[in-house]
Amino acid sequence: MPSEKEFEKKVKKFLDCLAPEVWYFKHWAGAYSKSGIPDIVGCISGHFIGIELKKEGGTPSPLQIRTIELIKAAKGYGYILYPKDFEAFKEDIKAFIKEIKNNDD
């Protein structure tokens, strides 16, 4: 079972290959940062995205769940992403970018 850090590297590598349609940063939580912010915060073809990464068996906190719900309520894209869902996530993101490009034409 991969660690959350190994999974994070895979997700970032995938997002990197989608540039320039994707911009993101890794949020580092610390003593002075706001709690509940997703691990990866970014923009995909002009749309906000927040991705909370979890290793298999990991459980998001109630605050993390609430933050993802708030992102979705604001018409952004929020994910709690597990390794088992990564392939489906990649296909969803690729399809989303393709749809945006088709609508821009």
pLDDT digits (tens, 9 = 90+) for 6-65: 999 999 999 999 999 999 999 887 777 787 899 999 999 999 999 999 999 999 999 999
Q: Cα-flanking dihedrals φ and ψ of residue 19, to 5°?
A: -60, 145
More confident residue, 100 or 40: 40
Residue 68: the pLDDT is 98
Picking from 97, 46, 47, the residue whose alpha carbon sits closest to that of residue 74 is: 47
- Helix, strand counts (H, E) of the chain: 3, 4
CATH code of 4-25+36-104, in short, is 3.40.1350.10
Q: 47 vs 21, 23, 77, 104, CA distance in Å?
A: 10, 10, 7, 14
Q: What is the rounded distance in angstroms from the CA atom of residue 21 to the CA atom of residue 46?
A: 8
Domain ranges of the chain: 4-25+36-104
